[in-house]
Every structure is written in structure tokens, then in C-alpha cells.
A and B are shown apart, each in its own frame.
Chain A
């Protein structure tokens, strides 16, 4: 029985297109410091409400990564490394995604992180991308 999968990563065309898009994005980002490039948009949520979301700082993180500043990358968005690790793990072990506890933990971590980043007191201010 042939089941249509939503997105087959194993398809060579998908792989090639994804790799090309990622490479183009990386080259563009390498030469565009976030905050000083007119074509990199600020986060709409932060512009409108002043709140940080769980994705705030990721562009700056990737910019630091591309320039080899690995420690600085973590300071912009602390979840970046754990998230990338987990995604890599899930791609190699897809059955892990059927684990309900893992799904609930991921959801909880992201929501809690989202709230904590916006608290204006000392240890939490470290989580905000300044």
C-alpha cells in the first residue's frame, strides 16, 4: 500500500532544493549583520508588543555561528543548540516523535522559555536577546 507522506526528505529534488536554499541563506546572512541590514525584518511581535518570543535572537545566533563565534550564538538564543540537536536526533530516529512525553516536554519547554525570557528580573534577563 502506497501512502503519500507529507514531506519526503529522501526525495533527491527536495534534498537538493533544501541544500541550495540553506546555502543561499547562509551566504546572504554571512554578509548582513542583523539589525544593520535594511532587508532583515525585525520580529513583528517584538515591534508591536515589545515582547520576546521563543524565536527571538535566532538570526543573530546564526550570524554569530556563521562567523565562528559559537559561545556568542548561545547567548542570543539559549534554545538554539538544544533545538538543533533534538531536530537532528528526530531526523535520524523518527520513531522518537511518537513518544508523547517527548512531545509534551518540547511544548512545555518552549512555552516556559517564552514566558521566562520576558520576566524583567535578574536571572531571567540573561535569557532575553539584548
Chain B
């Protein structure tokens, strides 16, 4: 986690910042879903990626308001929506592959019948 005042990286069990002495407020800065949300938008499914970015923004705003717990929850939601993007893409690709195999077999079948 990081000090909320100066940004110094601290060990997870630190009670206060070793550089500026700011006490750790019980909540580390949330791990943001922003990088995954951007990847989701540009690489697979922007519809859910946009939701992930909105939650990342919400998390940043809550963090600014020092609502640590809400900020962490929003960040977790952001990450979840990015994962939904990835899973949607994987499921669609697999479904498309299965569909392709079925089509291929059908064509082979018709080809066989034509030959007979």
C-alpha cells in the first residue's frame, strides 16, 4: 500500500508512513481497475469497458473525499466489469469456434453426399 499523503510505498502492516509520519487510515488506496478498463475498451468489449472506467472514476472521486471503504468497493466493481469484458470476449470466441466446427462438418457431409 501507499501513504495517502506523500505516496511512499509502505509495507502492508505499517501503521504510519516512514517518511512523513501520516497514519495509515485503515484503508490502503484501492487498486484501481483503470488499466484493465482501458484494455477492455480498446481490446475487446467497450460496452462493459466504459462501465469499468466510470467505476474507476467513481473510486478516484470517493478516494479524494477520503471515503476509503466506498472507494475500495468502487475499484473492485471496476475490476469486475473489466473481467466481465474479458469473459464475454472469451465465451463469444469459443462459441464462434464451436459454430465454425459445426459448419465445417455440415459442409463435409454435403460434399460426401454430392460425391455419392
| A75 contacts the other chain (CB 8 A) | no
Within 8 A of B (CB), among A80-105: 80, 83, 86-87, 90-91, 94-95, 97-100, 102-104
Chain A residue nearest in CB terms to B64: A100
Question: Interface residue tally of chain B, by bracket?
Answer: 35 or more
Docked Cα-Cα span, A53 to B45, in Å, equals: 8
A27 to chain B minimum Cβ distance, whole angstroms, is: 16
Task: Kindly state the separation between the CA atoms of A45 and B50 in the bound complex, as whole angstroms.
Answer: 15
Number of A-B contacts (CB under 8 A): 114
Query: Is B112 close to A, CB under 8 A?
Result: no
**In the complex, which range does the number of interface residues on chain A fall in?**
35 or more
CB-contacts of B12-28 with A (<8 A): 12-13, 26-28
Q: B72 is contacted by which of A3, A87, A97, A110 (Cβ under 8 Å)?
A: A3
B96 and A41 contact, CB distance less than 8 A? yes
Within 8 A of B (CB), among A95-130: 95, 97-100, 102-104, 106-107, 110-111, 114
CB distance from A46 to the nearest CB of B (A): 12
Proximity bits, A34-46, B CB within 8 Å = 1, else 0: 0000111100110
Q: Find the A residue at minimum CB distance from B1.
A: A3
What per-residue 1/0 map shows which CB atoms of B43-80 lie under 8 Å from chain A?
11111011001101101110110000000100110011
Asked whether, in the complex, the Cβ of B26 is within 8 Å of the Cβ of A54, the reply is no
Contacts of B54 in A (CB 8 A): 107
| Bitwise interface map of A from 1 to 21 toward B, beta carbon under 8 Å scored 1, else 0 | 111011110000000000000
B interface residues (Cβ-Cβ under 8 A, vs A): 1-2, 7, 12-13, 26-29, 31-39, 41-47, 49-50, 53-54, 56-57, 59-61, 63-64, 72, 75-76, 79-80, 92-93, 95-97, 100, 103-104
